[in-house]
């Protein structure tokens, strides 16, 4: 009898120590891990003064509910891989073209577009993506681009050296450097992100936006591999409505020079 009792205790103890922390989601607080490469002002360098309006908003929504929000910086391709596997709960700064199978809230963080940038002294005249055919274009690996942009990139990849794809946590900085040193003719980046980067680096007089293709919105997108993701997406939408009603949402975005 004692032997059987000890075996029962051992089984229960093993279950407790091996049960993942996420299993407490419906029963109490747990940690929500969000991941992305640095895409400031949506999500910024965690060692800086500001985390980004997307990270701040996520914390304003979930922390009052008892959650802890953990923000991790990693290359975008790795962040997508981890959220698909359920190793992180969400990626920040995603759109439907990144992966339509992720769980998206109804509320975006901000509008998103494919914005095309060139040197100010460039003679390139943007008239749709077809006007960029034959040019060297810098993009970031695994970023979701519009259908029109993807067609341009697919055609350009048939000629070695035209489409130059960069990955890593400093991919944006590398593309800017390549543009400044004329190793590419055009780079593609969301205008909200690029304008902030140009402001910080004091490059507004050297690099200009020559064209844009709207995409829709950028989101905090939750893992489709985790059973509670739809509940978290709903909590996010509910939280945005709550913060909008109190005026906190507008105040948060104003801190970053934006409007909700």
C-alpha–C-alpha distance, residues 211 and 73, integer Å: 29
Per-residue pLDDT, 1: 47
Give the model confidence (pLDDT) of 89-108 as tens digits: 999 999 999 999 999 999 99
As a whole number of Å, the end-to-end CA separation of the chain is 65
Band of residue 260 on the pLDDT scale cut at 50, 70, 90 = confident
**Domains of the chain, with CATH numbers?**
2-110+217-254 (3.40.190.10), 113-215 (3.40.190.10)
pLDDT digits (tens, 9 = 90+) for 140-180: 999 999 999 999 999 999 999 999 999 988 899 999 999 99
pLDDT at 28: 52
24-28: long-range contacts, CB 8 A cutoff, minimum separation 24: 25/228, 25/231, 26/228, 26/231, 28/66
């Amino acid at each position: 009898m004692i032997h059987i009792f000890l075996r029962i205790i051992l089984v229960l103890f093993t279950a407790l120590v091996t049960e993942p922390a996420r299993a407490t989601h419906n029963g109490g607080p747990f940690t929500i891990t969000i991941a992305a490469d640095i895409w400031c002002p949506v999500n910024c360098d965690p060692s800086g003064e500001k985390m980004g309006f997307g990270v701040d908003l996520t914390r304003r929504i979930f922390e009052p509910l008892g959650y802890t929000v953990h923000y991790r910086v990693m290359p975008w391709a790795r962040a997508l891989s981890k959220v698909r596997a359920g190793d992180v709960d969400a990626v920040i700064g995603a759109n439907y073209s990144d992966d339509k199978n992720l769980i998206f809230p109804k509320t975006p963080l901000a509008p998103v577009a494919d914005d095309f940038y060139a040197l100010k002294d460039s003679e390139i005249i943007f008239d749709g993506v077809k006007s960029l055919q034959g040019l060297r274009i810098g993009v970031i690996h695994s970023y979701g681009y519009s259908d029109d942009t993807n067609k341009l990139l697919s055609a350009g990849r048939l000629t070695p050296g035209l489409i130059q794809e960069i990955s890593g946590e400093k991919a944006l900085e590398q593309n800017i450097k390549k543009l400044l040193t004329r190793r590419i003719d055009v780079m593609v980046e969301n205008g909200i992100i690029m304008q902030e980067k140009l402001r910080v680096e004091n490059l507004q007089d050297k690099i200009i936006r020559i064209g844009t293709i709207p995409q829709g919105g950028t989101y905090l997108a939750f893992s489709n591999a985790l059973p509670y993701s739809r509940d978290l997406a709903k909590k996010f939408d509910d939280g945005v409505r709550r913060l909008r009603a109190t005026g906190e949402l507008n105040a948060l975005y104003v801190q970053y020079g934006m409007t909700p």
